A and B are shown apart, each in its own frame.
Chain A
Amino acid sequence: MSRKKLTLALMDPPYESANSTTALRIVAAALELGIDVNVFAYEGAVCLPLKDQAPHANPVKGTSVEEEEHPTTKTFVSALLEMGNGNPQLTWVNCGLCVDERGAGNVVDGVKRGSPADFLKMAQESTNTLVIPTK
């Protein structure tokens, strides 16, 4: 295998677990090292690139949307897809059945729809695979 490739399976929905942050950091670290990355988003993780996410103000602190700078996972996913647009390459596949169950089809550009069969193919063609399960 000439090029290194890492496949990640993610399951946690956004804003629920530190696993999501770490997973996105792992993707960024791999791309920084020039390693190709496959992400198979399963279950709640298909909502990570959901386009309908919106930053919000914080009425408790009295901050505006701009002051709060609330991060959204869709922005992180878009940034990672931009980093991995070529060499190295990031391929992000959302599980189609998980998407349909959640009505989560409106996702940022670059996210593909697939099935667990794609995850198998990704794992077979990768140097290694890391599954990050929900707790």
Chain B
Amino acid sequence: MSNYIFIESQDPFESRDPKFVEDMAIALKKRGHNVTVFLVQNGVLATRTECLARLTSAGVSLLADDFSLRERGIQPDEILPGVQSVALTVLVAALVQEQTKAMWH
């Protein structure tokens, strides 16, 4: 079992590309891996919508960069349940765990 971290920086309303990340994350989770999607930059715009519902239902961990949220005026009470606002150090600490594969999108 490996740890997979997908760092999603893309706005889900700008293109359909984040959907591919979502599909891959769910597929890896179904295969028994630990999967985290870390939202950063315009990727955090997804935290106010239902487009993350499939990921939360699949058991994928959802983290959002607190700095990116503040930059875009997204308040903590606007974030969907299941998404955790965290500092970037949380991402870095996860990246240096053994058996961890990271992909930036």
Task: Check A77 for interface membership: any CB of B closer than 8 A.
Answer: no
Which residues of chain A from 1 to 50 have any CB-CB distance to chain B below 8 Å in the complex?
Answer: 4-6, 18-19, 22, 25-26, 29-30, 32-33, 35
**Using Cβ atoms and an 8 Å threshold, which residues of chain B touch A32?**
89
**Using Cβ atoms and an 8 Å threshold, which residues of chain B touch A4?**
96
B67 near A25: Cβ-Cβ < 8 Å: yes
B91 near A6: Cβ-Cβ < 8 Å: no
What is the CB-to-nearest-CB distance from A12 to chain B, in angstroms, rounded to a whole number? 11
What is the CB-to-nearest-CB distance from B21 to chain A, in angstroms, rounded to a whole number? 14
A128 to B100, CA, bound (A): 7
Q: How many residues of B contact A (CB 8 A)?
A: 20
B92 near A6: Cβ-Cβ < 8 Å: yes
**Using Cβ atoms and an 8 Å threshold, which residues of chain B touch A25?**
67, 88
A26 to B38, CA, bound (A): 13
Contacts A6-B92, A22-B9, A35-B96; is A29 near B102 (CB within 8 Å)?
A: no
- Identify the A interface with B (CB < 8 A): 4-6, 18-19, 22, 25-26, 29-30, 32-33, 35, 127-133, 135
